Amino acid sequence: MSLDRLWAGWRAAYVADHSAGIADATVTDGGSVFSRIVASGAPDRDTGIVHRGERCFAILNRFPYGTGHLLVMPYREVADLAELDDDEHTELWLTVRDAVAALRSAYEPDGVNVGANLGEAAGAGVPGHIHVHVLPRWSADSNFMTSVAETRVLPEALPDTWDKVTAAWPTPPATP
């Protein structure tokens, strides 16, 4: 069984537009979905990129488990932690640290999940481009919809989440 998501009616524009197709993870031309988003030239607020570093960036998950769900990854497409060079490794974990700080500041959650799915068998949706999930959690963030209907209710639009996270980011993001 898969977990469904329930989007509020006012989110129809997002679903219909789907960011002009740049979030289609099934397309393989031009690299991973993440690389295509970075290279799209679209404004960061439209793509969900909340932070750009020299070697790594953070982006909102388009299909979040909950409000504030971020993905942190290197620009270079590698599948595993062992493939990162030392500078990428250092910046990746510093960016994860900043992502946690931004989520704590923006949302005041009870906790934060941090994790990476390494390989398709581990659940990686984009196995060729490593990314670390960072998402805020609350003691009461599971409800009957998740438990009974296998559906998540997301109370905030992604552009609103982008505004909150970028405002709370510990270092100012570089916007193209």
pLDDT tens for residues 127-158?
Answer: 899 999 999 998 876 655 555 555 666 778 88
Each residue of 3-33: pLDDT tens digit?
655 555 444 444 344 444 444 444 445 689 9
Residue 39 has pLDDT above 90, yes or no: yes
Rounded distance, CA 70 to CA 8, Å?
Answer: 20
The residues assigned a catalytic role are: 131
Give me the phi and psi of 120, to 5 degrees please.
-60, -40
In the predicted structure, residue 109 carries a pLDDT above the cut 80 = yes
Q: State how far the Cα of 78 lies from the Cα of 124, in Å rounded to an integer.
A: 13
Q: Please state, as a whole number, how many other Cβ atoms lie within 10 Å of the Cβ of residue 133.
A: 18
- What contacts 115, CB < 8 A, 6 or more positions away? 132, 133
Token readout for 18 is 């789907």
pLDDT-based confidence at residue 66 (cuts at 50, 70, 90):
confident
Mean pLDDT, rounded, for 99-128: 92
CA–CA distance, 78 with 91 (Å, rounded to integer): 15
Mean pLDDT of 90-110: 97
Report the distance separating Cα 6 and Cα 102, nearest Å: 26
In the chain, what percentage of residues exceed pLDDT 90?
56
| For range 55-76, the mean pLDDT | 93
Q: Which CATH architecture has domain 4-168?
A: 2-Layer Sandwich (3.30)
Query: Which string of b and e fits 43-58 if b means at least 16 CB within 10 Å?
Result: ebebbbbbbbbebbbb
pLDDT at 152: 60
User: Which of 24-38, 77-91, 110-124 has the lowest average pLDDT?
Assistant: 24-38
The residue ranges of every structural domain in the chain are 4-168
Phi, psi for 58 (deg, rounded to 5): -125, 140
99: pLDDT strictly greater than 80 = yes
Least confident of 53-57, 88-92, 124-128: 124-128
